[in-house]
Amino acid sequence: MTYVLVRHKVKDFKKWKPYFDNHGIVRQATGSKGGKVFVSAENPNEVFILLKWDNLQNAKKFLQLDDLKEVMMKADVIDKPDVYFVEEAEEVEF
């Protein structure tokens, strides 16, 4: 399974989150299988998103959508996102 890891800063997490939640229908329609949202322990407006995707091609296609760029603008994303496409290598438990 492909994962997309995104890091970006937002002006206000509480304003950003409903935009992210409402855009879930678009993510699902393009192959997202859900994921997790994290915030920095030192800055709650620095957001990390880990999303599962059905395949790499659909993940890349989603990230090129004009709709995504519009939602990010409305949600006050204030820097260029860092985006990584990753595959799980191992789950470690202690």
What 3-state DSSP class applies to 3?
A: strand
Terminal C-alpha separation, the chain: 24
pLDDT in tens, 55-83: 999 999 999 999 999 999 999 999 999 99
The type of residue at 78 is I
Q: Helices in the chain by DSSP H: which ranges?
A: 13-22, 24-29, 56-63, 66-74
pLDDT in tens, 3-44: 999 999 999 999 999 999 999 999 999 999 999 999 999 999
Token pair 């997202």 is found at 32
pLDDT interval class at 1 (50, 70, 90): confident
